[in-house]
Structure 1
C-alpha cells in the first residue's frame, strides 16, 4: 500500500516524461556501442590508444544502468510502495552504475579529442558524480535519510545531465554556425569545439541548481492555515487570550 504521505504516481506527472526521455536517449545512444565496432563510435578514439574504446563501451553500459535505475529511485510511488525494491535498485545504481561509470569517465574525459574545455568539464563532472554518490550512500548507511535524498538527487541530476548536455550542444552549434566567418575566422574545428564545450559545463550546472531548488521548495515549512486567512474589512486577527 502506498504511504498516505506520498502522492500517487499520476499526481507526479513528470515521472512518465522523464522515463520517456531517458528511454529515447538510450535507444538512440547505446545501440552503436553494442556492436563493439569502434567505427560506429560517436566519440573518436585517440590514435594508438587500444584501451579507450573498451572503456568507452563500459562507460556507456554502466551509464545506461545508472540512468534506468535512477528513474526508479526518484519515483515517489515506487519508493513508497516497494521499499525493498528501492534499496535494491539503489545499490544497483551506486555499484553497477554511477560509481563505475564515474571512474571510467575519468579516463574517457582525460583522453577526449574535443579540446581542453570539454576535458576539464568531463573530469570535473566525473569527480562530482563520484563524490555526491558516495556521500549519498554514506548518509543512507547513517540513516540520515533527508540528507541521503538530497545528495542522491544531486547524483541523479549528474546522471541525467548527459541528456541535457547533448541538447545544449545541438542548440549551441546552430547558434554559433552563423558566426563561423566572423567570430571563428572560418575555422570550423574551432567553432565545433566551442559549441561542444558549452553542454558539458551548462548541463550539469543547470540540473544541480534545479535539483536543489526543488528540494528546498519541498522542505520549506508551510504557514498554518490560521496564519494564511485574510481578515475581513475592518476586522483584525483574533488576539490570544491573556
Structure 2
C-alpha cells in the first residue's frame, strides 16, 4: 500500500503545483507577444521612413537638387560650409542603411538561419551607426541645432548611447555571450532609431490634439518641443529597460501589466507613424 500512497502524493503535488507554473508561463508568453506586436508595427514604420529617405533624399541627391532639401529640414545646405554640408548629406543617406537594415538583426529566424547575412549586416550596421553618431555630434556643435539646448542635449545623449551600445554589442558578440549581445543589440536598435522617434513624437502629439499641437513652435522652442528634444532619446530606452526587467524577473501580474502597457505603446507608435507619414513623409514625395 505504501507505493500507492507515494504515487498519490506525487500526483497531488503535481496537480497543486501546476496552476502556479502555468500562469507564469502564460504571462511570459503574453508579454513576449506584446513586444512582438510593437516590433512589427515599428518595422512597418521604419520601412515607411526608409522609403521616404530613399525617395526624397536619395532622389534629390541623384538629381543634384540640394536646394530641395532645404524645404524639409532646418540647417540643410549652407553656402560655404563644406564640412557641415558633407556631414549632413552623409547623415541622411546613411540613415537609410540604419533604418532599413537594423530590424533584420533582431528577427530570430534570420539570425539563426542566415548567420552569414546576420554577421555582415551587423558589422555594416555597427560601422554606420558609429560614423553617423560621430557626424551627428560634430554637426550639433559645429552648426548648432534648431530648438536650442534641449534638442542639442537630447541629440548628444542619443549619439553617446549609440557609441556605447555599439561597443557593448560588439564586445559580447566577440565573447560569444549571445544573450548579452542580443540585449545590447536591442538597446542599440532603439537608440539608433532616435531620429525616427523624434518624428513619431510630433506625429503622436498631432494625432491626440487634433493637429493643434499646443506647446510646439516652428523653431522648436515650445514646452512640448523641449520635452521631446530630450524625451526622444530617453523615453524609448526606459520603456525597453522596463520591458526587459519585467520579462526576466517580473511576477505574473507584473508581466500582464507590462503586456498591457506594451499594447498601449504599440497603439501610440501606430498613431505616431500614421501622422508622421501624413505630415512629414508623404508630402515630400509628391
Please name the residue that 1:135 is paired with.
Answer: 168
Equivalent residue runs for 1:1-242 within 5 Å: 12-34=36-58, 35-36=60-61, 37-41=65-69, 42-45=73-76, 48-95=80-127, 97-110=128-141, 111-114=143-146, 115-172=148-205, 178=214, 192-194=220-222, 195-220=224-249
**SS of the residue 1:51 aligns to:** helix
Does structure 2 conserve the Cα–Cα contact (< 8 Å) formed by 1:172 and 1:196?
no
What does the per-residue CA deviation read over 1:161-188, in whole Å, with 9 as the maximum and x for residues that have no partner? 32221121345576885568xxxxxxx5
| Pair 47,124 (structure 1): closer, same or farther in 2 beyond 3 Å | farther
Q: How far has the Cα of 1:137 moved from its partner? A: 0.6
What does the per-residue CA deviation read over 1:182-209, in whole Å, with 9 as the maximum and x for residues that have no partner? xxxxxx556x323443333212212112
**What is the TM-score with the length of structure 2 in the denominator?**
0.62
Q: How far has the Cα of 1:64 moved from its partner? A: 1.7
- Structure 1 gaps of 5+ residues are 1-6, 181-187, 224-242
Does structure 1 conserve the Cα–Cα contact (< 8 Å) formed by 2:173 and 2:181?
yes
Give the distance between the partners of 1:222 and 1:82, measured in 2 at CA.
35
Q: How far has the Cα of 1:136 moved from its partner? A: 1.2
- Structure 2 gaps of 5+ residues are 1-28, 253-286
Give the distance between the partners of 1:179 and 1:80, measured in 2 at CA.
46
| Pair 20,216 (structure 1): closer, same or farther in 2 beyond 3 Å | same
What does the per-residue CA deviation read over 1:32-61, in whole Å, with 9 as the maximum and x for residues that have no partner? 322233322223245642321221111112
| Pair 135,178 (structure 1): closer, same or farther in 2 beyond 3 Å | closer
Give the distance between the partners of 1:58 and 1:189, measured in 2 at CA.
25
Give the distance between the partners of 1:122 and 1:199, measured in 2 at CA.
11
Please name the residue that 1:232 is paired with.
Answer: none
Structure having the larger proportion of residues in helix: 2
Q: How far has the Cα of 1:129 moved from its partner? A: 0.7
Aligned length: 205
Does structure 2 conserve the Cα–Cα contact (< 8 Å) formed by 1:63 and 1:159?
no
Does structure 2 conserve the Cα–Cα contact (< 8 Å) formed by 1:168 and 1:198?
no
What does the per-residue CA deviation read over 1:112-141, in whole Å, with 9 as the maximum and x for residues that have no partner? 331222122212211111111111111111
**What is the TM-score with the length of structure 1 in the denominator?**
0.72
